[in-house]
């Protein structure tokens, strides 16, 4: 049976680069996004470049628990137990804790943390039964350091790193690997409109390469954390 990777929020940036990397190595993929048109474009692009690969797409907003469950059901309907799960869904709303808009905390915790929590819980039993699998949680340098205007985004990413550490402890005896990925400033949609040169940002493809390398590690080893920053430092 073919390997499959599940990537939440896979139509742009790091999620898209990870899909392209794994599909280029023969993986089928299941992914979701809030934008149906972006999903259809991704499916056409990836399948045309990788004729042996199937891209399963579903429109879903994973900040909503009910839609997380619907997406998990969609994944299970493929009949393939995921070899890799990448919890990549995220949102960044800049602001300080004292001044950000009401509801910012709830929005970012629901999107950045709860989506990963609920999707993992929905899919992990099948991975445990298969006694193999690798879960990557897309954290951030904001998971380990606060910065100006980070506000509730930093809170949500600190929490996601904590969840990742707990998962690692719970799953290590069951044959599953868990890795926290903490990229610094990467050239994605989150940085659109910022007046900074492109060379100050990391490439999404570099993060995808790091994820692939961690996945390919031998069975007796695990990369628990991947911390990547721009060569010239944080922005």
Just list the catalytic residues: 153, 157
d(Cα 4, Cα 78) in Å, to the nearest integer?
Answer: 10
Output the 3-class SS for the chain.
Answer: CCCEEEEECCCCHHHHHHHHHHHCCCCEEEEEECCHHHHHHHHHHHHHHCCCCCEEEEECCCCCHHHHHHHHHHHHHCCCCCCEEEECCCCCCCCCCCCCCCCHHHHHHHHHHHHHHHHHHHHHHHHHHHCCCEEEEECCHHHCCCCCCCHHHHHHHHHHHHHHHHHHHHHHHHCCEEEEEEECCECCHHHCCCCCCHHHCECHHHHHHHHHHHHCCCCCCCCCEEEECCCCCCC
Residue with tokens 């399948």: 47
């Amino acid at each position: 049976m073919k390997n499959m990777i599940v990537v939440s929020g896979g139509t742009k940036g790091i999620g898209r680069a990870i899909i392209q990397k794994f599909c280029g190595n023969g993986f089928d993929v299941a992914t979701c996004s809030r934008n149906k048109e972006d999903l259809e474009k991704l499916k056409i692009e990836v399948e045309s470049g990788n004729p042996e690969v199937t891209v399963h797409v579903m429109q879903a907003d994973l900040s909503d628990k009910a839609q997380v469950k619907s997406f998990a059901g969609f994944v299970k309907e493929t009949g393939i137990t995921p070899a890799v799960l990448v919890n990549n869904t995220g949102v960044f709303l800049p602001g300080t804790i004292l001044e950000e808009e009401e509801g910012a905390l709830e929005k970012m915790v629901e999107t950045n943390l709860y989506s990963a929590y609920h999707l993992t819980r929905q899919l992990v039993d099948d991975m445990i039964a298969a006694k193999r699998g690798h879960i990557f949680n897309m954290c951030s340098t904001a998971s380990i350091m606060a910065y100006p205007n980070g506000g509730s985004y930093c809170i949500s990413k600190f929490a996601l790193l904590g969840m990742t550490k707990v998962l690692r402890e719970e799953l290590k005896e069951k044959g599953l690997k868990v890795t926290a990925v903490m990229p610094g400033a990467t050239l994605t949609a989150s940085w659109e409109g910022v007046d900074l040169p492109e060379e100050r940002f990391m490439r999404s493809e570099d993060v995808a390469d790091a994820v692939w390398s961690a996945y390919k590690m031998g069975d007796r080893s695990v990369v628990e954390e991947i911390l990547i920053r721009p060569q010239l430092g944080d922005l």
